[in-house]
Amino acid sequence: MDDAGYLTAAAIGHGAREILQTETDASVWGDTSKGLFAVTDNKKALFISQQPFKGPLTINVNGNFPWHEKLSHGTHLVLAPDQIRFIQSDLIIKITPQTQVWTPTILNMTGFDLKAFINRSKLIEDEMISQLSNRKSDLTSSKPGNLAIQDQTQENNPNIENNLKSALYSRNEAAVFESLSNSLGYGEGLTPSGDDLICGFLLAAHAWEEILYPDFSFKKTILKIVETARKKTTALSANLIACAASGSADERIINCVKWFNNGGLSAALIMEELLSYGSSSGLDTLAGMLAFIQASPIVQQEL
């Protein structure tokens, strides 16, 4: 810490900065091994972390952030543009003029190469299938019988990715909304798998709607799903869905979107970054992007 009870923010996401300028009170809502989530009285979400990865709702702090030792669920936070004060402890996080305000860069669509784009989608899908296969192998070797239970559970629940693809194939706006709405809140965790998949869909739509679906608009569907998310899923997921609708997400997800567009890194390195984003959120978000891409009539013509 800089001095007694103080930490400084190295970076703050554009969404988090706006929240500190408009909200005054929040409470600790949950935590992971990488930081804690806070939710304001108006259901706006913040993520405070000592990890280096930036995001629209993330505040990256310098030094050791002692959330496990000091900060229990429900701890009250007082928010201001230049600081976050934890009332039940002596901790203050300061936002200084040196704090970087992070926002995702705009995609460069100049010279977009559809064939290269489709090839990269196949490469990352192969990486994803390999990772899922490895996870299943680990599960069966460490806990015999669990995979059979997992497969049976999947049979009894909607296959949200395939349902979304079918709705996209139909070019039916009502069917697309229904599929997305049914996915809201599906799964466990701070950000259920169905919500992560929706984020991937929204990011893909923001980036490539005009290229991949030239005769179909998702704008009304996206507005409706952002509004519905506020009622049907967690406050954190609803905030992330709203960010994704405007083309913003954790920088590891944004790196994947840029890689789809322009290449550069290997698919293996992109997958490594995705795997570090939540327990399965990176893979679920990727599944949403791939569903959007694979159902495109433009992509179908090239296959």
Q: Please report the pLDDT score of residue 95 as a whole number.
A: 97
Q: Please report the pLDDT score of residue 134 as a whole number.
A: 75
* % residues pLDDT > 90 (the chain): 70
Please state, in angstroms and rounded to a whole number, the distance separating the CA atoms of residues 58 and 53.
8
Provide mean pLDDT across the span 57-63.
93
Q: Give the orientation angle of helix 193-212 with respect to helix 173-183, to 10 degrees.
A: 150
Q: What is the pLDDT of residues 94-136, one digit of tens each?
A: 999 999 999 999 888 888 999 999 999 999 999 999 888 877 6
Q: What is the pLDDT of residues 238-297, one digit of tens each?
A: 999 999 999 999 999 999 999 999 998 899 999 999 999 988 899 999 999 999 999 999
Q: Please report the pLDDT score of residue 137 as a whole number.
A: 60
Question: Confidence band (pLDDT; 50, 70, 90) for 41?
Answer: very high
Q: What is the pLDDT of residues 175-200, one digit of tens each?
A: 999 999 999 999 887 899 999 999 99
CA distances from 192 to 48, 230, 291 (A): 20, 14, 17
Provide mean pLDDT across the span 77-84.
97
Prediction pTM value: 0.89
Q: What is the pLDDT of residues 139-155, one digit of tens each?
A: 444 443 333 323 333 33
Q: Please report the pLDDT score of residue 151 as a whole number.
A: 35
